[in-house]
Amino acid sequence: MILYSFTRKLLHLLYNQLFWAYDLVAYIVSAGKWNNWILESLDYIKGYSVLEIGIGTGHLQVALANKGYLNYAQDISFNMVKISTNRLIRHNCTSNVICADNSFIPLKNSSIDVVIATFPTEYILDKKTLNEIFMILRPGGELVILLNTLKAGNSLIHMANLILWKHFKHVVSTKAILLQELESTRFHVKEIEHIYDNSILYFIKATKLDINR
């Protein structure tokens, strides 16, 4: 319980008072691989319109823009939105970044091909959030989640993975709850173990079923 409380406090600080240290902390705990891990998500994006939720500091947003996607982003943290917006502007990219809780996504129904979340916190278990995602996705659209790393090849990364992700109800129960919630929201779910360098990244790809069939 103490470790769980510490984890929540640390993440809260990184999104608020210590927002300026977010990239540094991510770099240190991943031995410099954090952004590369996130960019591996690009392998699972199909279509044109993409919404990223829980955007961190905007590295994936820049990559999406440079590849020609119509990309949107949403985060509850004003600091993350500000950093991401500034990063997009510096790279001469259009900014479509929204500061809002993920339980309400102000986009048209059936307007998005892919929703992506990388290393999400417990918001990804929220039924309202999953319902919102389902509504804005086109039939056949996909929710791509990079949930955690299963193998990182570095003791510090393993410890960070344990602290930051496994203690959100532990990774096994989090995974089970998430899969159950996705299936109950009318998603077809596929689990993927993605190999990058000496790491194994655990993805969940959830396809929106056509409820009219």
Model confidence over 151-183: pLDDT tens digits?
Answer: 655 545 555 555 554 444 445 567 888 999 999
Residue 200 bridge partners (DSSP): 151, 195
| Arithmetic mean of pLDDT over the chain | 84
Write down the pLDDT at residue 27.
76
Which of 19-23, 82-86, 207-211 is most confident? 82-86
For the entire predicted model, the pTM comes to 0.85
Whether 137 shows a pLDDT value over 70: the answer reads yes
Of the candidates 88, 89, 70, 86, which has an alpha carbon nearest to the alpha carbon of residue 78?
A: 86
Q: Map residue 60 onto helix, strand or coil.
A: helix
Buried-exposed string 74-112: b where 16+ CB fall within 10 A, e elsewhere:
bbbbebbbbbbbebbeeeebebbbbeeebeebebeeeeb
Contact call for residues 47 and 64 (beta carbons, < 8 A): no
Give the count of beta carbons closer than 10 Å to the beta carbon of residue 3.
Answer: 11
Q: CA–CA separation, 162 vs 29, rounded Å?
A: 11
Q: Judging by DSSP bridges, how do beta strands 137-151 and 112-118 pair with one another? A: parallel
141 pLDDT band, cuts 50/70/90, is: very high
Domains of the chain: 2-166+181-208 (3.40.50.150)
pLDDT digits (tens, 9 = 90+) for 37-71: 999 999 999 999 999 999 989 999 999 999 999 99
2: exposed, middle or buried (Cβ count in 10 Å: 0-12, 13-18, 19+): exposed
